[in-house]
Structure 1
């Protein structure tokens, strides 16, 4: 059975999470408050995001958020690969 590369899968998950975070940043920067609320309400199956959408996010905070998202994604991907590999019987 094929073994997963822990570091590569972690990187793929981390980069995917960072790209999604960047997409959210772009939506918020270009769409305006009401369109952003409409977008996330529809994305989250009608959950009302009006009270949690904050449009005045400083650039340093957004940068920190994208780094944290990458790190969490890397850890999640690495754990999935490690758990998957641990279940493979050695031949």
Structure 2
């Protein structure tokens, strides 16, 4: 079984999460508020997101949010790669 690069999977997942975050920011900046609430409510399958929506978020908080979500995504990707690699290593030892 091959191993997964921890850095590459972390970067891929972190980048994906960051792009999704930027997509949410774009939707909130360009779409009228009632449509945004309807859109996110449909994604959340019945949860009402209107009480937690912030329409007056400064630009610097959005940048901090992108960095935070990238770091969290990178960490999740790294953990997945480590667990995959550890599981693959123990499987090879059992086969030998």
Residues paired across the two proteins, number: 91
Which ranges in structure 1 are unaligned for 5 or more consecutive residues?
Answer: none
State the match for 1:41 in structure 2: 41
State the match for 1:85 in structure 2: 85
d(CA) in 2 for partners of 1:6 and 1:15?
Answer: 14
Give the TM-score of the pair, scaled to structure 1. Answer: 0.96
Give the TM-score of the pair, scaled to structure 2. Answer: 0.91
- Structure 1 segments, 4+ long, off by >6 Å, are none
Give 1:74 deviation, angstroms.
0.3
Which ranges in structure 2 are unaligned for 5 or more consecutive residues?
Answer: none
Give the helix-richer structure, 1 or 2.
Answer: 2
Q: CA RMSD in A?
A: 1.0
Give 1:88 deviation, angstroms.
1.1
